[in-house]
Amino acid sequence: MLRLLASRCAWSLGAGGGPRGLLPPQGTRPAVGFRGLGCSLSRQASDAPRNQPPSPELVARSVGICSMMRLPVQASPEGLDAAFVGVPLDIGTSNRPGARFGPRRIREESVLLRTANPSTGALPFQSLMVADLGDVNVNLYNLQDSCRLIREAYQKILVAGCIPLTLGGDHTITYPILQAMAEKHGPVGLVHVDAHMDTADMALGEKLYHGTPFRRCVDEGLLDCKRVVQIGIRGSSTTLDTYRYSRSQGFRVVLAEDCWLKSLVPLMGEVRQQMGGKPIYISFDIDGLDPAYAPGTGTPEIAGLTPSQALEIIRGCQGLNVVGCDLVEVSPPYDPSGNTALLAANLLFEMLCALPKVTVV
């Protein structure tokens, strides 16, 4: 049976040797670098075969290790154009925990995804070498140390020329990721989808948690503030001028009520002009969507965006210089149906399709 599977989609063992701090997906941690179920041919030239998720017509969806889209799992980013990376951290949460289980659940739901995007014409697996790099080995007892581990892992990914697509994890993780991004690209633009601006300065005497990542990014000069847009902002607040800080930095703040009952295609046309051709990062908090669609999250807010609007936002980034993406704040304990993780998996696939150099027909 293993020979039959190997003939169709290459079941193989690699030699490891990847970036320190990266582990295979949760529940799949062998002693060597297991590359998993999927076409796992190493890229030797631009026209060489690329990794492909196995077709459900050849391999049952219940077969194989739990990787994103059942792609090969490898320890090193070398030779990859893009990679899915899990960051199972939730010790920066302020309300309901559980996002540490987000990467695992998103991978489980991604089994339904296929290789082509008929709506956009994108064929990412014909264009890019993609794999699952497993999880960053975070320290669940120390948030500062976890941020160091995340930053160092992403520095190594970026040095290899690989674009990371991150499965979170709470929103704290975006801060060390953007530290690594700015080290390579300089200050980046940001398309930030969220119910919250995440620009608080401090809570309970701490300056680092999931409500402060973009304040810390501004403090360190990691963002090109004139090229930052925050979409889907809503909810009650402790003050009436809750948007003042973001707008004073030059961010464009798009409230959820300004998105109700309308297409966001015109908005994204404006965002594309704002972003230009310089590097941008996409950070998508699943609580940007209404909890009717995405209940499995830690800080839900009513009257949010719809899944179709989420697609319009991500597809509106196609053709921009996207250098990295994340999807954060999926909390499986509050997602009994799996719908939130399924939505997250689909949005990550859309992000992959929006990357530069993806063939569009």
User: Known binding site: residues?
Assistant: 171, 194, 196, 198, 285, 287
**What span, in angstroms and rounded, lies between the C-alpha atoms of 127 and 50?**
8
Q: How many whole angstroms separate alpha carbon 10 and alpha carbon 195?
A: 42
What does the DSSP 8-state code read for residue 95? S
State the amino acid at position 175 in one-letter form. Y
Q: Give residue 48's identity as a one-letter amino acid code.
A: A
Partners of residue 255 on adjacent β-strands: 233
Round to whole Å and give the CA distance between 248 and 44: 49
Collapsing DSSP to helix, strand or coil, 348 comes out as helix
Measuring CA to CA, how many Å separate 20 from each of 90, 136, 150, 164? 21, 9, 11, 16
Going through 14-162 in order, the beta strands assigned E by DSSP cover: 22-23, 34-36, 82-87, 122-123, 130-136
Distance separating alpha carbons of residues 233 and 236, to the nearest angstrom: 10
Tokens encoding 257: 């009520």
The answer to whether 356 touches 322, Cβ cutoff 8 Å, is yes
Binding-site positions for Mn(2+) read 171, 194, 196, 198, 285, 287
Phi, psi of 46 (to 5 degrees): -65, -25
How far is it, in rounded angstroms, from Cα 9 to Cα 2? 10
Nearest to 94 by CA among 171, 208, 209, 200: 209
CA–CA distance, 89 with 200 (Å, rounded to integer): 20
Over its C-alpha atoms, the chain yields an Rg (Å, rounded) of 19
